[in-house]
Amino acid sequence: MITFEGAAKVYPDGTVAVAGLDLTVETAKTTVFVGPSGSGKTTSLRMINRMVEPTGGTVRIDGADIREQDPSRLRRSIGYVIQQAGLFPHRTVLDNIATVPLLLGWRRGKARARAAELMELVGLEPAQAKRYPHQLSGGQQQRVGVARALAADPPILLMDEPFSAVDPIVRTSLQDELIRLQRELNKTIVFVTHDIDEAVRLGDRIAVFRPGGELAQYDTPERLLAEPVDGFVESFIGYDRGVRRLSFFPASALSLREDVVFDDEDRVERALTTVGDGGEPWALVVDGDRLPMGWVSAAQLLREPTGVPLGTLELAPYGHTFDVGTDSLRAALDAAVLSPAGRAVGVDDEGRVVGVVSQEDLGAALWSVAE
Ligand SMILES: Nc1ncnc2c1ncn2[C@@H]1O[C@H](COP(=O)(O)OP(=O)(O)OP(=O)(O)O)[C@@H](O)[C@H]1O
């Protein structure tokens, strides 16, 4: 547990970077500091490893005042990852990762073996061990940065905008990796970002900072999105917070329809029992393995001669699907919005169609969330 007790930082030029922070970071959880530029996130983070000394208040780790600990020893017991990874350019990937164990006096062989183990943990190929940082992509460099920070197995990991310099696709995969790693390692992670979406994805708790180095709100992502404390937090989160909140509700609560799903060998007249004449506007066609093939509209079915197998018709693309076991209401809504039929296709973990969610069913689920 890391506790900030009235921790403040005023620079000699009078800039108030952090104006008396009271906050407890829970052990083995991910806490995200988010806020606009200059709101004191990095300064607060760096107080934890004494890269910044507070001008007021106290920071404790598991109850002990960090001022009473030797700064370089403290730093070796806390992993630190920064934007652009901050790797040593003239050291190989393996030696970069082995830095802290070597500083701690490990034998070279043991430090390198540990570094190789960490490369695998963060998803780097063994062949990259002998490369230099400039021979890696930005995303790979960040992975090396994370491996280096974890090398001595520190209980605390500080991450200062570690993924902000990579493109959005790499960024999402690094976030996924961090979520997976954290499930395995249970570190106390403090993560700084500007990006509220990143904060909501990664954080067990989120601290929103406002200009002037003040804490505006400290809450779980669910509560932050549901109940921002004031106009500043609300506008910082953005006006689509209602839709974002849907990520916290499982899609498994939706009722799925199977009576509008037909086999590719079924004939047009079979589909017309529920779609078209049967009142429904769209049918979903699946193949013999129940993998989705596409949509056919009621209007088209009524034009086609009977006896034609549905799989031979020109089908509208089914768009993207949602996983009924693991996805959220947000994913289901997204799938419905992007579908030409305005309906979302729910699949199991092997991509086989379980059923379809109509707009009415989605609407009912959204109402229950709003209550
Ligand atoms: N060495 C320094 N001397 C004077 N002012 C400083 C110093 N370092 C930081 N500041 C100021 O302290 C304030 C907080 O900076 P900090 O880096 O903590 O903000 P931040 O929220 O992390 O911002 P960003 O997201 O842009 O990194 C800013 O106004 C910054 O200009």
Alpha carbons 346 and 286: distance in angstroms, whole number: 12
Q: Can you tell me which atom of ligand 1 is nearest the CA of 192?
A: 22
Which ligand 1 atom lies nearest to the CA of residue 209?
Answer: 21
Atom of ligand 1 nearest to the CA of 42: 22
By alpha-carbon position, which residue is closest to atom 17 of ligand 1?
Answer: 42
Instruction: Please indicate, yes or no, whether residues 93 and 207 belong to a single structural domain of this protein.
Output: yes
Burial (CB < 10 A; 0-12, 13-18, 19+), residue 305, is exposed
Looking from the CA of residue 18, the nearest atom of ligand 1 is 14
> pTM higher than 0.95, yes or no?
no
- Which atom of ligand 1 is closest in space to residue 194's alpha carbon? 25
Q: What is the CATH number of the domain that holds 168?
A: 3.40.50.300
Token look-up 């570190």 returns 187
Q: What is the pLDDT of residues 153-191, one digit of tens each?
A: 889 999 999 888 777 777 888 888 889 889 888 999 999
Whether residue 198 sits in one domain with residue 82: yes
Query: Is residue 317 very low, low, confident or very high in pLDDT (cuts 50, 70, 90)?
Result: very high
Residue where one domain finishes, among candidates 216, 248, 280? 248
pLDDT at 354: 96
Tell me the two tokens of residue 227. 């109940």
Q: 12 and 66 share a domain?
A: yes
Binning pLDDT at 50, 70 and 90, where does residue 85 land? low
295 secondary structure, DSSP code: E
> Which of 213, 248, 283 represents a domain boundary (last residue)?
248
* Residue nearest to ligand 1 atom 3, measured at CA: 11
Whole-angstrom Cα Rg for the chain? 26
Number of helices and strands in the chain (H, E): 15, 16
Token pair 């109402």 in the structure block, residue: 367
Would the pLDDT of 353 be above 80? yes
Highest mean pLDDT of the ranges 132-136, 155-159, 253-257 = 155-159
Contacts of 14 (CB under 8 A, 6+ apart): none
Residue 371: pLDDT band with limits 50, 70, 90: low
Residue with CA at minimum distance from ligand 1 atom 29: 38
pLDDT for 311 beyond 90: yes
* Ligand 1 pocket: which of 10, 18, 41, 52 to mutate (most atoms within 8 A of CB): 41
From the CA of 8, how far away is ligand 1's center (Å)?
13
Contact status, residue 343 vs residue 333, Cβ threshold 8 Å: no
- Same domain membership, residue 65 and residue 205: yes
Which DSSP helix (H) or strand (E) runs through 72? Answer: helix 71-76
User: What CATH number has the domain bearing residue 346?
Assistant: 3.10.580.10
**Residue 266: pLDDT band with limits 50, 70, 90:** very high
- In the prediction, which pLDDT does 247 show? 84
> ipTM score here?
0.95
Looking at the predicted structure, is the pLDDT value of residue 31 above 70?
Answer: yes
**Judgement on whether residues 243 and 287 belong to the same structural domain of the protein:** no
Higher per-residue pLDDT: 164 or 112: 112
For ligand 1, mutation pick of 4, 13, 43 (most atoms within 8 Å of CB): 43
Token look-up 């570690």 returns 162
- Are both 222 and 324 inside the same structural domain? no
Mean pLDDT of all residues belonging to the chain: 90
Do 330 and 234 lie in one domain? The reply is: no
Q: How far is the CA of 9 from the centre of ligand 1 (A)?
A: 10
Q: Which atom number of ligand 1 is nearest to the Cα of residue 40?
A: 18
For the segment 218-240, the average pLDDT, to the nearest whole number, is 89
Number of domain units in the chain: 2
Please list every protein residue whose CB sits less than 6 Å from any atom of ligand 1. Answer: 11, 13, 15, 17, 35, 37-43, 194
> 49 with 88, same domain?
yes
Distance 40 CA to ligand 1 centre (A): 6
**Band of residue 33 on the pLDDT scale cut at 50, 70, 90:** very high
Distance 156 CA to ligand 1 centre (A): 23
Q: Give the closest residue (by CA) to ligand 1 atom 31.
A: 38
Q: How far is the CA of 71 from the centre of ligand 1 (A)?
A: 21
CA of 199 to the centre of ligand 1 (A): 20
